[in-house]
Each structure stands twice: as C-alpha cells, then as structure tokens.
C-alpha cells in the first residue's frame, strides 16, 4: 500500500477522501458530468473568442492563464516534466470517462470511432498527413516502436548524442544487446551557439555503417534545440534513418514534419500540449513506414493501406485520454502555434535577462534562438543544484527541477500560463539562496528522470 494519502481538490482546497465523502463525491460527479461538457465547450469557445485578439498583451495571457486550474499558491516552472491540463481538456477527460461509467456500450463504440478525428487533428497540428500519425502513449513508447521496428544487423551503427533521455537511449541499448548493433555518442562543447558545431560533430561521426541517427530535437538536459532540418537532410543524403525524440517541441514551437524532413518523430502530449498522460503523437513518414515493423499488433497490422494506424492497434484503450488530447489540440489550435511560440520564447528571453543579474550564474542553454526554445538550464557557482531546487520549493513555493547527470544543472520550463512576475519571484528566490538561506535536499532525493 502506498503511504501517500489519496487527495482530491474541491474548490481548490486539498482534502483527504473519507469513504462517505467519496460516495458523496461520486453522486456529485454524476450531477457534475453534464456540466463538465458545458465547461469544456465554454472554455474552448472562450479560447476561440480570445484568440481573435490581434496583439496579445499581459491581459490576454492572464485570461489564458485563467483557463488552467493551477494552484495559485505555486509557481510551477517544470512544464518540461508534466504540463497542467486546461479546463477544456480536463473536463473532456472527466466527461468521457463518465459516459463510459454510465454506459460502456454505444459511448465506447463512438469514442473508438472518434479517435480518427484526433489523428486528423494531430496530423494537421504537426504538419503531417492523416496516414502518418500513430496515437501511442508517450515518447518512450514511440521511441521503442522505432528502434524495435527497424531491421538492423550486428555491426550496424546508431549515432546518438551525449545528452539523450533514457526513453530514447535505452531502446538503442536494447537493440545493441540483442542484435549486436553499435551505439555511438556524438559530443560537442555545450551549449553550442552555432548550428554548424552540432552538424559538423554528426558529419564527422558518420561512417558507412551508420544506419540510424537517434537524437532529441530539444535536449532535456541543456534545454537546447538541435538544427534538425539540416541534420535530416544530411542523414537522407547518406541513406540514414532519422529516429527523433521530440518529447518537448510539440505544443511549444510551430511544427511542420514535412518541412523538417525526418523519418520518425515521437512526442509527449502531456508536456507542452497540456494533454493528460497516456496519449503521445508518433509521426511516421509515409515513405519510411515500409522499413518499420509494428511492435504491438492486432488485426490490421499487415495492411499498408492503414498507414501509421498499423502501429497503434491497441484494441481497448483509454479513449477518454485520446479524446482529451483532441481537446488539447483544439485549445492550442484556437490560440495558434505561432502565438504560443512567440510567448514562450518571450518568457525564455525574459528569464535569461532577469537571471543574468545573479552573481555566479552560468547558462547551459544556447543563447541563439535557432538553438533554444522554452527550456533554460543553469547553475549557480558553489551551490548544489538539488539544494537550490529544495530551497525554491520549501521557502518560495516555486517548482523547478535538477538535471543531475553529467551536466548538473537546474532547469526551468516556462509555458503560456506562466508570467513575468513569476520569473521575478524565481530571481528573488535565487537571491535568497545566494544569501545562504538554504534548505538542504534529502540525500536520497529521487530523480524522476523526466
């Protein structure tokens, strides 16, 4: 049994659920479920109306923020691990589960059929065709599908980088152990300020045996972006497959898979798209699908006419989560990807400038907008990163995270619901740390690796 008390939030106040309260809650949720659809729809239409504003100002972003159910006492700066669901998404999820609880018959059939609408929306959102999108569960699953599904022989090489997440790296290691494939890491002096540094490092490492390049579009440790379009061109010229870990960019910056020219790209909808966990988008370029065996199979896996849907044959699955992903795509499409990108880049620049006032700060994220996004990794001289994160949490109610790998940094991730005032609060918190007001992190603090 978990020692963590089960908590729910009613009107923003935490409460431990008693049995009677739980039953009351069920009765309440039955009554509330119809209201949930109304809430989801009205939240979406509010977003649609708001999105007509030609020049978004502070007031505009305040209204966007009010579409989230975020705890007002916290400054949440870790969208890179898990994004919060806005009302439209949350209420869609609740309502669709309620439909199934009430009647697992027709609603289940309808929800299953509606998954293709979500596939269509996801394709439009990432600049792909309908038959190039598989609805998987997250980036880790998408990366495993890619690496597991490629035919590689002993001695073939997978080229990857020195800052990969386990979700992409471990499927490569499995391939190495099982099939005698060689995994080589490309390194460069980070943060690179010139895309050529990264491209040259890859070009120098490619050999006639290189069959796959597996790399993160946005690196989770440094927060830097790689020049993916140029890398994909380089790979294609040499007949190398690109298997990309795109956990971060979808929902953060404008996406166009066809323009990027990659073969395979996996993303996590629970991060920057602010969808619930359990619904990832996997892009599989049409012409490249013939190289990829499906991993999880059921009827239809061997029918190429199905396109990428051959790779998500899960039989019964969490349809409400898929439909909530649809609501997240609607929410962000109403706002507009360009507008979201402009906002998160503005917050990134604001953070960089504001934090620069702190003595002893070093950035590990590129300053070149071509090589950066909404993530920012930094260290403060002579202070342990874990202690910084703990102090911000305990003394200032600011949620950040450490990167305790070879890099050793603190990372912030700012999204559309964050404000400049919250960044000022972060700076004040770090000034407090520099004055020596430090809460020591527990030595056994688990690192969530996300």
Binding site for ligand PLP (CB under 6 A): 81, 138-140, 165, 167-168, 216, 220, 245, 247, 268, 280, 450
In a 10 Å sphere around its CB, with 0-12 CB exposed, 13-18 middle and 19+ buried, how is residue 420 labelled? middle
Residues 309, 30: Cα–Cα separation, whole Å: 34
Give least dist CB 174 to ligand PLP, A. 15
DSSP label of 250? B
Q: Which is nearer to ligand PLP, 216 or 366 (CB)?
A: 216
Q: Which is nearer to ligand PLP, 119 or 165 (CB)?
A: 165
Residues 203, 232: Cα–Cα separation, whole Å: 12
Q: Is 260 helix (H, G, I), strand (E, B) or coil?
A: helix
C-alpha torsion 10→11→12→16, nearest 10: -20
Q: Is 424 helix (H, G, I), strand (E, B) or coil?
A: helix
Give least dist CB 188 to ligand PLP, A. 17
Q: Which is nearer to ligand PLP, 365 or 391 (CB)?
A: 365
DSSP label of 366? -
Give least dist CB 253 to ligand PLP, A. 14
Q: Which is nearer to ligand PLP, 96 or 248 (CB)?
A: 248
Give least dist CB 246 to ligand PLP, A. 8
Give least dist CB 214 to ligand PLP, A. 11
Give least dist CB 311 to ligand PLP, A. 16
Strand partners, 378: 363, 410
Which helix (H) or strand (E) covers residue 403, if one does?
Answer: strand 401-403
Give least dist CB 168 to ligand PLP, A. 6
Establish whether the linkage from the previous residue to 375 is cis, with ω within 30° of 0. no
Give least dist CB 266 to ligand PLP, A. 8
Sign for the pseudo-dihedral over CA of 329, 334, 340, 342: positive
Give least dist CB 178 to ligand PLP, A. 21
Q: Which is nearer to ligand PLP, 43 or 79 (CB)?
A: 79
Q: Which is nearer to ligand PLP, 325 or 434 (CB)?
A: 325
Alpha helices in 5-81 (DSSP H): 19-50, 58-66
Q: Which is nearer to ligand PLP, 40 or 407 (CB)?
A: 407
Helix H, strand E, coil C: the string for 96-132 is HHHHHHHCCCHHHHHHHHHHHHHHHHHHHHHCCCHHH
Q: Which is nearer to ligand PLP, 240 or 247 (CB)?
A: 247
Side-chain-side CA neighbours of residue 26 (13 Å): 7
Q: Is 345 helix (H, G, I), strand (E, B) or coil?
A: helix
Residues 36, 134: Cα–Cα separation, whole Å: 28
Determine how many CB atoms are found less than 10 A away from the CB of residue 425: 17
Residue 320 CA: distances (Å) to CA of 87, 89, 93, 121: 15, 10, 5, 16
Q: Which is nearer to ligand PLP, 218 or 241 (CB)?
A: 218
Give least dist CB 133 to ligand PLP, A. 16
Q: Which is nearer to ligand PLP, 91 or 264 (CB)?
A: 264
């Amino acid at each position: 049994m978990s020692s963590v008390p089960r908590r729910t939030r009613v009107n923003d106040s935490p409460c431990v659920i008693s049995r009677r309260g739980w039953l009351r809650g069920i009765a309440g949720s039955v009554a509330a479920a119809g209201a949930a659809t109304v809430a989801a729809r009205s939240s979406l239409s509010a977003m649609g109306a708001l999105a007509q504003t030609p020049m978004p100002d502070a007031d505009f972003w305040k209204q966007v923020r009010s579409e989230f159910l975020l705890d007002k006492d916290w400054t949440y700066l870790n969208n890179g691990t898990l994004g919060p669901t806005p009302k439209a998404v949350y209420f869609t999820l609740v309502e669709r589960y309620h439909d199934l609880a009430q009647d697992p018959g027709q609603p289940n059939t309808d929800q299953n059929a509606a998954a293709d609408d979500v596939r269509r929306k996801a394709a439009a959102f990432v600049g792909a065709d309908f038959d190039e999108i598989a609805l998987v569960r997250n980036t880790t699953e998408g990366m495993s599908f890619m690496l597991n599904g490629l035919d590689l022989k002993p001695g073939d090489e997978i080229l990857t980088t020195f800052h990969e997440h386990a979700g992409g790296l471990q499927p490569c290691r499995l391939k190495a152990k099982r099939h005698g494939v060689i995994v080589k890491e490309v390194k460069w002096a980070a943060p690179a300020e010139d895309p050529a540094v990264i491209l040259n490092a890859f070009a120098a490492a490619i050999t006639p045996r290189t069959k796959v390049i597996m790399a993160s579009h946005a690196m989770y440790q440094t927060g830097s972006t790689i020049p993916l379009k140029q890398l994909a061109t380089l790979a294609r010229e040499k007949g190398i497959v690109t298997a990309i870990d795109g956990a971060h960019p979808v929902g953060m910056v404008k996406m166009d898979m066809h323009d990027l020219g990659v073969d395979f790209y996996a993303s996590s909808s629970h991060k920057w798209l602010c969808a619930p966990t359990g619904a990832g988008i996997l892009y599989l370029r049409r012409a490249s699908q013939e190289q990829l065996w499906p991993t999880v199979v059921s009827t239809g896996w061997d029918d190429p006419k199905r396109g990428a849907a051959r790779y998500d044959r899960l039989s019964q699955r969490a349809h409400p989560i898929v439909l909530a992903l649809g609501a997240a795509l609607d929410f962000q499409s109403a706002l507009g990807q360009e507008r979201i990108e402009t906002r998160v880049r503005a917050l990134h620049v604001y953070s960089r400038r504001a934090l620069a006032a702190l003595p002893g700060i070093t950035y590990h994220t590129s300053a070149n907008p071509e090589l950066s996004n909404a993530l920012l990794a930094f260290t403060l001289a002579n202070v342990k990163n874990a202690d910084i994160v703990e102090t911000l949490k305990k003394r200032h109610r600011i949620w950040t995270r450490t990167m305790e790998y070879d890099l050793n940094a603190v990372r912030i991730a700012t999204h559309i619901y964050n404000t400049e005032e919250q960044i000022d609060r972060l700076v004040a918190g770090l000034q407090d740390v520099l004055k020596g007001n430090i809460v020591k992190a527990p030595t056994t603090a688990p690192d969530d690796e996300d």
